[in-house]
Amino acid sequence: MSTPPLRLFFAIPCCPQLAHDIAEWRKQNPVDGKPVAPENLHLTLAFLGSQPRGQVEPLAAIAASLTPTAFILRLDRLARWKNGLLHLAPSQVPASLMELERGLREQLLAAGFPLETRHFKPHLTLARHCPKLPPSAPPAFDWPASEFALYASENTARGTRYHTLAQWPLRPQAPA
Ligand code: ATP
Ligand code: MG
């Protein structure tokens, strides 16, 4: 019997402290729609969709070949896209984040993985199916990104679960 495919994506996980802080802020600024569970908060780097399990190894090899640098991402914007996706975003995107996303995308495309062609807009999803932008004060979260990971997303009776298949550190930046 063949094993079912996995729904895969690369992302930067939100550390537990920041996830807690964001969840607390969200409680003070209630939003309509389907909130993302605190343990699922993340920033997607590349979405691969349904893939055979055998692709996990080559994907991990691609990730391991990158040499990304750590950065601090300041989430200072609350925004909503037309599709109802309410998110936090940075007004200044660190060069290291763009380099990581570009490096990953280039290698994934070279290896034949289909990726969407839309421009990368780094964001952390707070809720989906949100009917309007809540009138809350602008947030200011400093996110010290120190790793990225390959996830398998699973739909369960208790909601969407992400399984970490492998993760890789972002190298601390050399002092100036
Ligand atoms: P659910 O869809 O079950 O409500 P989810 O969106 O968190 O939860 P997935 O649909 O598996 O779970 O998506 C995992 C990640 O990949 C999320 O960050 C999601 O926004 C992103 N993603 C999903 N589909 C696409 C797509 N077609 N293009 C780009 N990113 C996507
Ligand atoms: Mg989804």
Nearest-CA residue for ligand 1 atom 4 is 160
Assess whether the C-beta atom of 161 lies below 6 angstroms from ligand 1.
no
Q: What is the pLDDT of residues 99-124, one digit of tens each?
A: 999 999 999 999 999 998 889 999 99
Asked if residue 12 belongs to a domain, the reply is yes
The answer to whether 151 touches 7, Cβ cutoff 8 Å, is no
Q: Which pair of tokens denotes residue 50?
A: 């349904």
pLDDT for 135 equals 84
Distance of alpha carbon 116 from alpha carbon 154, whole angstroms:
21
In three-state secondary structure terms, 127 is strand
Asked if residue 123 belongs to a domain, the reply is yes
Nearest-CA residue for ligand 1 atom 21 is 47
* Whole-Å CA distances, 158 to 22, 84, 165: 21, 22, 20
For the cut 90, the answer to whether the pLDDT of residue 147 exceeds it is yes
Asked if residue 176 belongs to a domain, the reply is no
Q: pTM for this one?
A: 0.95
The arithmetic mean of pLDDT across residues 17-46, rounded, is 94
For the cut 80, the answer to whether the pLDDT of residue 1 exceeds it is no
Asked if residue 1 belongs to a domain, the reply is no
Asked if residue 71 belongs to a domain, the reply is yes
Q: Which pair of tokens denotes residue 155?
A: 């739909």
For the cut 80, the answer to whether the pLDDT of residue 31 exceeds it is yes
For the cut 90, the answer to whether the pLDDT of residue 138 exceeds it is no
Assess whether the C-beta atom of 91 lies below 6 angstroms from ligand 1.
no
**Is the sign of the CA dihedral 61, 62, 63, 64 positive or negative?**
positive
Assess whether the C-beta atom of 164 lies below 6 angstroms from ligand 1.
no
Q: Which pair of tokens denotes residue 157?
A: 């009776």
Assess whether the C-beta atom of 7 lies below 6 angstroms from ligand 1.
yes
Distance of alpha carbon 36 from alpha carbon 159, whole angstroms:
10
Which structural domain, as residue segments, surrounds residue 156?
6-169
pLDDT for 61 equals 98
Nearest-CA residue for ligand 1 atom 22 is 47
Asked if residue 89 belongs to a domain, the reply is yes
Asked if residue 34 belongs to a domain, the reply is yes
Q: What is the pLDDT of residues 75-88, one digit of tens each?
A: 999 999 999 999 99
Closest to 18 (Cα-Cα) out of 116, 166, 139? 139
Distance of alpha carbon 81 from alpha carbon 121, whole angstroms:
11
Domain count, the chain: 1
Assess whether the C-beta atom of 84 lies below 6 angstroms from ligand 1.
no
Q: Which pair of tokens denotes residue 134?
A: 């809540």
Distance of alpha carbon 71 from alpha carbon 148, whole angstroms:
12
Distance of alpha carbon 6 from alpha carbon 136, whole angstroms:
37
Nearest-CA residue for ligand 1 atom 28 is 47
CATH of the domain at 102: 3.90.1140.10
Could you confirm whether 20 is annotated as catalytic?
no
Q: Tell me which of 44, 85, 86, 118 to substitute to probe ligand 1's pocket, judged by most ligand atoms within 8 Å of the beta carbon.
A: 44
Asked if residue 162 belongs to a domain, the reply is yes
User: How, if at all, do strands 71-75 and 77-80 pair?
Assistant: unpaired
- Where does residue 124 fall: left (phi above 0), alpha (psi -120 to 50 degrees), or beta otherwise? beta
Assess whether the C-beta atom of 116 lies below 6 angstroms from ligand 1.
yes
State which ligand 1 atom lies nearest to the alpha carbon of 9. Answer: 16
For the cut 80, the answer to whether the pLDDT of residue 175 exceeds it is no
pLDDT averaged over the chain?
95
